């Protein structure tokens, strides 16, 4: 039987989501925990992969087991086995063909920037000392909705077949001393959000103009975009699926 597992994690201690040969990943810890609990080898497939140091408030992965499970009891026991920086939020039975990655219809990320030194956000937000022009950054963010090819924000030497993404939301908001960027799209390229944040910060600090943002995107050249913002400010916050893949009782 196939299940979707919903989890959240603080990515500080992990080398990203995906299994790595010489470093600890969230996927590795989750697979070991599930395999120990179910007493059989369990592999998980995630909705996407987060880089080293990136966090997730909501990420789904699917896994298969031979028999039906008691969801509430399983969630409780798995959380007692997992380290404190990984949490299972829920488990849902899905159709046998449901795929955590390929059936996702949209994904949302948030990037957090703190404008003051805060010991409680040390590894959870990017600290900057000056406030950028947020209104101008929002005008730059609106430009993203006009394009679909984001090769300029993609990590070089990546193995993707297409750089096309449909961005449906991109907005900056101030909440106290925290500056939050929210972006939603059907898919994201590796390093895309962090490269966008770095570029929009360049706009906010007057290093590049709105016209240059257009030119950067049209160039399809990563070297023209801004430096990637640090990983620890980035969060995967939402993954959406069609209701038809979930099994209702």
| Residues labelled as active-site residues | 51
Q: Rounded to whole angstroms, how far apart are CA atoms 31 and 101?
A: 17
Per the listing, tokens 């209702």 go with 248
CA 151 to chain centre: 18
Q: Which residues of 163-196 are buried (b: 16+ CB within 10 A; e: fewer)?
A: bebebeebebeeeeeebbbbbbbebbbbbbbbbb
Helix (H, G, I), strand (E, B) or coil at 240: strand
Tokens found for residue 241 = 């699926």
Q: Is 214 exposed, middle or buried (0-12, 13-18, 19+ CB in 10 A)?
A: middle
What DSSP designation does 53 have? T
Reading phi first (left if > 0) and then psi (alpha if -120 to 50, else beta), residue 228 is in beta
- For Cα atoms 164, 43, 109, give the angle at the middle one, nearest 5 degrees: 35
**Strand extents, DSSP E, 65-127:** 86-93, 106-114, 126-127
Q: Which residues contact 75 (CB under 8 A, 6 or more apart)?
A: 88, 89, 90, 91
């Amino acid at each position: 039987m196939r299940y979707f597992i919903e989890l959240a994690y603080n990515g500080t201690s992990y080398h990203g989501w995906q299994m790595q040969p010489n470093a600890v990943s969230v996927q590795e810890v989750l697979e070991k925990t599930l395999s120990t609990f179910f007493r059989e080898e369990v592999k998980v497939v995630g909705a996407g992969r987060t880089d080293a140091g990136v966090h997730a408030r909501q990420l789904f992965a699917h896994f298969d087991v031979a028999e039906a499970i008691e969801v509430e009891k399983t969630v409780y026991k798995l959380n007692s086995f997992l380290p404190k920086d990984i949490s299972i939020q829920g488990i849902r039975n899905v159709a046998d063909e449901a795929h955590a990655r390929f059936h996702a219809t949209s994904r949302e990320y948030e990037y957090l920037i703190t404008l003051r030194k805060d010991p409680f956000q040390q590894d959870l937000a990017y600290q900057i000392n000056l406030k950028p022009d947020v209104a101008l950054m929002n005008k730059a963010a609106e430009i993203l909705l006009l394009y679909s090819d984001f090769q300029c924000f993609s990590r070089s030497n990546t193995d993707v077949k297409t750089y096309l993404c449909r961005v449906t939301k991109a907005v900056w908001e101030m909440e106290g001393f925290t500056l939050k960027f929210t972006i939603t799209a059907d898919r994201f390229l590796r390093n895309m959000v962090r490269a966008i944040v770095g570029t929009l910060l360049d706009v906010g600090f007057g290093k590049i103009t709105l016209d240059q943002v257009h030119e950067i995107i049209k160039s399809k050249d990563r070297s023209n975009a801004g430096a990637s913002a640090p990983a620890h400010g980035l969060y995967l916050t939402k993954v959406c699926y069609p209701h038809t893949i979930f099994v209702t009782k």
